[in-house]
Homo-oligomer: A and B are copies of this chain.
Amino acid sequence: MPDILPRFMGVAALLAGPLVATATLVPGSQHGPYARVFYARNLPSPAAQVGFPHAWTHAYGNARHDSAYPVGSSAPTWLKSGVTWRYAEARAWPLSRHKPFGAKVYGDRLALATMTQFYGNALGVSAADGIIYAESDDEFAYALNARTGRLIWRTSPVGNTLMGDPLVFGHVVYLTAGNVGFNFSNVQRYSQKTAARGAGVSYNGVYALDRTTGKLLWHFGTMGATMPTPAIADNRLFIDTGSGDIYAINAQTGHQIWVKRAGGIANMSDPAIYHGHVYVALSVVPYLYCLSAENGHIVWKASIRRATKTGLGDVSPAVAHGVAVMDAVAVVPSHGGRTTMTTIVRAYNAEDGRVLWTHTMGLGPKPPAFKGGVPMIHGNAVYVGTPVDNIYQAYDLHSGKVLWTWHIPKAGAAGAGRGPATYSHGKLFISTGPRLFVLNAHTGRLIGQKYLGGRFGIVNPVIVGGTIYLDNSWDWIMAVPVSTVVAHKPTHRQLSP
């Protein structure tokens, strides 16, 4: 049984700082299904925290989107050799089901997107101090013991999808609430480019929880949907929303510091912070912005011509070594009357926005829902996938020279290649479709893969020591030993489940 929680009527949340005692922060009956449950006995021991990052300040762990954390010799054996577990979240669909729920009515393409956006996990997990955090479109957030996969806490502070990657900073975990819906009045405003996605569609905003117990500390409500994952630096949290506003709020108190009315609509572009600047892209009024983290002023902005309406706002820019890399699915004019797309990858000088290089990937049909692949920078290379022609490519970060191309096998009805890869020990780990693939990072050659079932959305493999942590659209969280993916050569039979 979970530890007893304070009655919702008298939940006194008297904490340091401006958080005054508040009777009830958010709706929800105390013994009801959305109430927080907390199992203190499943917290990791201090020893089991060794080797893990202490914080998680960006979607995919950092501005490079590269989530591999090698561990030293003092790390526990289990972490070095790797553990295996699977946790069924609230709307879990059996991993034995190859088809998404609802495929008969919606067809595979739309059902895959619907399952990711409303039942499963759109982005990957976060890992900090021996705990794996996940937020799901099943409206719950979860903290699991990284070793055992046992539930530490589960909570649903808001009745909306949680599409991001939980941030962890100080004693707080941050969730963002928002879904893809527009209500009727905003459908009508769309033609005047004044629509706010999410306005009047349940409740949106940032929800801050105690990282150990999951208790709600405060929430920062926003008019527009906050589907993206924020980013944190210097005790400031930055987030873009469906009403085209980009906010900076105090990461401890939740008070607003500044807001930038950029216009357009935020989709899934997660901000990246680099050298005092915030990089994020919005769509409909399609720009990649570089803002001052101090005051929100626009340092530079750039667009990608022919990007589809949501193309630019879907992708999260990766920034490192003075270079910001972005991509956008774009329309290819007049191609036999059939809507044909490509993916334009572009690198900018992070300081002044000068274009360093542009690369156009292959042609393909319009992918449903999320359009684009989240770039990942490691060393002097950047790796980008795309669901247009289902490939990953590696480029030299500074020149844009194509290093290699890998074609994703069995990409599936909705296309594959949306999540960022993860670099570890000369290998590239990629989670897409129902599989985890391992490539030689230098040649792009497939050197291992493992069928895990379900489907990975815009998910990256998070590697801590010898374990890979993931979550998926079938609403499962899982741990997989690195050794079980890399050990054996891929055989053709291996590609089938």
Contacts and interface: CB of A to CB of B under 8 A. Distances in A.
Interface of A: 8-9, 23-24, 26-29, 32-34, 88-94, 97, 101-102, 104-106, 110, 113-115, 117-119, 137-140, 154, 156, 159-160, 179-184, 187-188, 190-191, 195, 197, 199-203, 205, 221-223, 309-310, 369, 474-475
B309 A201 contact: no
Contact of A88 (B32, B91, B138, B140): B32
Nearest to A91: B27
Contact of A32 (B92, B97, B102): B92
Stoichiometry, as copies per complex, reads: 2
Contacts of A222: 105
A179 B180 CA distance: 12
Q: Which 4 A-B pairs have the closest CB atoms?
A: A181-B181, A105-B221, A29-B88, A118-B202
A94 B183 CA distance: 26
Given A24-B94, A110-B200, A188-B190, 9 more contacts: A8-B94, A29-B475, A33-B34, A114-B203, A180-B201, A184-B197, A184-B310, A190-B190, A200-B369
A27 B93 contact: yes
B28 A91 contact: yes
A106 B204 CA distance: 10
A394 to B, nearest CB: 31
A483 B352 CA distance: 74
A42 B195 CA distance: 48
A89 B32 contact: yes
Contact of A221 (B94, B104, B139, B190): B104
A193 to B, nearest CB: 12
A135 to B, nearest CB: 15
Contact of A181 (B24, B26, B137, B182): B182
A196 to B, nearest CB: 11
Contacts of A201: 114, 118, 179-181
A160 B160 CA distance: 10
6 contacts: A27-B475, A29-B90, A34-B91, A105-B221, A139-B159, A200-B369
B181 A183 contact: yes
Nearest to A191: B191
Contact of A309 (B8, B184, B474): B184
Given A105-B222, A159-B138, A203-B114, A90 B188 contact: no
A180 to B, nearest CB: 5
Contacts of A29: 88-92, 475
A119 B88 contact: no
Contacts of A369: 200
A32 B90 contact: yes
B202 A23 contact: no
A187 B140 CA distance: 27
B105 A26 contact: no
Contacts of A199: 106, 110
Nearest to A32: B90
Contacts of A32: 88-92
B33 A154 contact: yes
Contact of A159 (B8, B118, B197): B118
A164 B102 CA distance: 21
A309 B188 CA distance: 10
Contact of A180 (B24, B93, B104, B200): B200
Contacts of A223: 105-106
Contacts of A115: 27
Contacts of A28: 90-92
Contact of A34 (B90, B114, B184, B187): B90
A262 to B, nearest CB: 18
Contacts of A182: 181-184, 187
Contact of A9 (B9, B89, B94): B94
Contacts of A26: 101
A187 B117 CA distance: 17
A195 to B, nearest CB: 7
Contacts of A474: 27
A94 B159 contact: no
A115 B27 CA distance: 10
Contacts of A114: 200-203
A408 to B, nearest CB: 24
Contacts of A102: 203, 221
A91 B203 CA distance: 12
A150 to B, nearest CB: 13
Nearest to A25: B101
Nearest to A201: B181
